[in-house]
Structure 1
Amino acid sequence: MLPIPRFVRQRVESLAAHLLQPSDGPRVDFSLPAGEPALVAPDSVSWQVFKNPATLFIGGVAAVILELAEPRVRTGVWEHTSFRQQPMARLQRTGLAAMMTVYGARKQTEAMIAHVVRLHGAVQGITPGGTPYRATDTDLLDWVQATASFGFLNAYHVYARSLTPEDRDRFYAEGAAAARLYGAQGAPVSEADQQAQFAAMQPRLEASDIVHEFLTIIAHVPVLPARLRGLQSVMVRAAIDLVPAPVRHTLQLGSRAGLRPGERWLVTRIAKAADRFPLRSSPAVQACRRLGLPDDYLYRRRPQQR
């Protein structure tokens, strides 16, 4: 564990709690009910990856870039969510849902996912190019699951701690239970599956001003305090760097260059520090308590390194 001065810890704890607890919904206590398992086991790669708030932000941004590259997903997100009007609230809800999927008590998580699936049932429309879509279309659900897994895994792998090919495959396989609950029957269960799915989807991806609008919004939404907003922009560029080169080219992201000289070192230092910094109020630590594990359980054990 990384020793942190008390006042710094309190500030970070407060910030993290704010980011994961939407103001327009009930607070979730991941420490309850005592003893109830999650969809994923504590000794999983997923529990290691999702404990890192820095790489979760970076990976989440990378995932949304990839999602918005698909015109049906892009239209559904931009026309049927409140992201443009209330980006912070949307980020909080999305972050909480991700934490529930990994750390939440199983029954609560299943109820949350069922609620999301019901909401998705009402989302449908036609893209500007004339293609009809429904949020329950299985290929779209598979794409969203694949991009989320890719983003979170690779942000952790690149910036925080390198993982073996076996652990990366385990990570994709661990997401299968939640993916099925969401209706994503064809979500990747290995890195080879993910790469094949990305290759198959590549011809359907297209550039859009919405992607650039999203990047502008996410760089300025008050995730970090005002004096650290410049760092937030650096982390957004770190996310752009994770997007596969063919997709970056398709999306015309050249004007939004990735990390500049020296910034990769900074992002890596932040991500590695976050990986050694247990937040007592975090879903990861609370879930450990729920299962009778010590607060620093995830900081004692590591996935096998290369």
Structure 2
Amino acid sequence: MRNVLRIWQDEVKKTFSGKADAPPEWSLRLADGEDAGYHLPGSAVWAVHGSMTPIVGGIRTLLMQSLHPGALAGVHEHSNFREDPLRRLANTIRWIFTVTYGSTAAAEEATRRVRRLHEPVQGDYQDNDGGIRTYSANDPALAGWIHIAFTDGFLAAHKIWGRPIPGGPDAYVREWAQAGRLMGVDNAPLSEAEMRSQLDQWYTQGALRSDARVKETVQFIRNAPLHPLLKPGYRILFAAAVYSLEPRYRAMLGLSVPRLGPFPLPVKLATKVVLGVVHLALGGPRRRMGPSELAARERLRRIGEPVADMA
């Protein structure tokens, strides 16, 4: 039994960082740099991204992003997500945490790296009116959809399973708008209401759709190729992502909240338990901060920034 638990713990670590025995090298390099970066201890971004809720938010984000045919075409036509989905996950985590915890130079270099990878991601897709449209991963409009789906997904999950956000949801949307600007987004929302309004525009203007490709993607996300020991917990996390979606998007995705006959299953409580177990696997209750945050605090101490909220 102890060996099984150790294998499970190692697989959890490898899923999120690519390594079971040590933090990824890039996270340790976040101690380098000569400024505080875009976000500080006590910020809304640190509160949300330093919790366990982004695990659910990330699944929700993938589901939402798949509803834009241009975004989905880019993934299907220019990505090896089927063969190596964890590499794509690790690269996304690296960018998020570098922008969250790194110096401005580190955040900007990480963004340039992502945008270089995006350069060949372009092509054509058929819109909902039958016309042919071009897409590019670095196009500001498409980047805007990716950003808003991300912000909405992480915020929605944290509002359900996270602690209070310093400054409230508006602070998170406003602070994370900087990440959108780094990625070339022209009008990243600055409040939760503005975010909701932009989401409504994407929906009412008919830019989103559900089709066979979306269905295939949802099935892949639902049955992600994880180690067998991780699959029971992942099923609960997937159900949590579905639970957190607005009903109209659940309908488009062909999903529903799990039920046992007429009774909804206790997804909210089960998710809280699973996130707690994952937290234990990644370091336990005594280790409240991950390696990226610890490295950032080391940099902040070195340059004389206050880091008094380490309790």
Please, what TM-score do these two structures have when normalized by structure 1?
A: 0.81
Q: Deviations over 1:152-173 (max 9, x none)?
A: 1111110122448x41101011
CA contact (8 A) 1:37 1:106 kept: yes
Alignment equivalent of 2:208, drawn from 195, 205, 218:
205
Which residue of structure 1 aligns with residue 40 of structure 2? 41
Partner residue, 2:88: 90
Alignment of 1:111-126 (within 5 A): 111-126=109-124
1:13-48 Cα shifts (integer Å, max 9, x gaps): 88436522489xx83014521664222122201101
Task: Please say if 1:191 is aligned against 2:200.
Answer: no
Q: Does 2:22 match 1:19?
A: no
Structure 2 counterpart of 1:16, which letter? K
Quick one: which of 240, 243, 246 aligns to 1:241? Answer: 243
Aligned ranges for residues 152-171 of structure 1 at < 5 Å?
152-163=154-165, 166-171=167-172
CA distance in 2, matches of 1:61, 1:14: 18
Aligned with 2:82: secondary structure?
coil
Matched, 1:261 2:262: no
Matches within 5 A, 1:78-157: 78-129=76-127, 130-157=132-159
* Structure 2 residue identity aligned to 1:93: N
Aligned-residue CA RMSD in angstroms?
3.2
1:220 to 1:158, Cα distance in 2 relative to 1, 3 A:
same
- Aligned counterparts of 1:169 and 1:19: Cα–Cα separation in 2: 28
Higher relative contact order (CA 8 A, sep 6+): 1
SS in 1 for 2:74: helix
Residue in structure 1 matched with residue 220 of structure 2 by the alignment? 217
8 A contact 1:280–1:286 mirrored in 2 = no
Q: What's the counterpart of residue 288 of structure 1?
A: 297
Question: Aligned-pair distance for 1:228?
Answer: 3.4
**Does the 8 Å contact 2:8/2:229 carry over to 1?**
no
What's the CA shift for 1:62? 0.7
Q: Counterparts of 1:14 and 1:30 in 2: how far apart (Å)?
A: 24
In 1: Cα distance, 2:64 partner to 2:140 partner: 17
Tell me the CA shift for residue 141 of structure 1. 1.0
Mapped to 2, the partners of 1:146 and 1:212 lie a distance apart of: 22
Asked if the contact 2:44/2:165 (under 8 Å) is kept, the reply is no
Q: Structure 1 residues 94 and 201 mapped into 2: Cα distance closer, same or farther (>3 Å)?
A: same
Q: Which amino acid aligns with 2:83?
A: Q
| Residues 175 and 280 of structure 1: CA distance in aligned 2, closer, same or farther (over 3 Å) | closer
Query: CA–CA distance in 2 between the matches of 1:123 and 1:77?
Result: 8
Name the aligned partner's letter for residue 103 of structure 2.
A
Q: 1:258 and 1:210 mapped to 2: Cα distance?
A: 26
Partner SS for 1:230: helix
If the length of structure 2 is used for normalisation, what is the TM-score?
0.80
Q: Which consecutive residues of structure 2, in runs of 5 or more, have no partner in the other structure? A: none
**Hey, which bits of structure 1, 4+ residues long, moved more than 6 A?**
8-11, 296-299
Residue identity matched to 2:273 = R
1:52 alignment partner, SS class: coil
Q: Is the 8 A contact 2:140 2:184 kept in 1?
A: yes
Question: Structure 1 272/283 Cα, relative in aligned 2: closer, same or farther at 3 Å?
Answer: same
AA partner of residue 99 (structure 2): T
- Aligned identity (percent) is 24
Q: Secondary structure at the match of 2:239?
A: helix
More displaced 10-residue stretch of structure 1: 198-207 or 209-218: 209-218
Q: 1:10 to 1:232 in 2, by over 3 A?
A: closer
C-alpha contact (below 8 Å) 1:50/1:56 kept by paired residues:
yes
Cα distance between partner residues in 2 of 1:283 and 1:10: 24
* CA spacing shift, 1:176–1:262, aligned 2, 3 Å: closer
- Residues 31 and 200 (structure 1), Cα distance of their counterparts in 2 relative to 1, 3 Å cut: closer
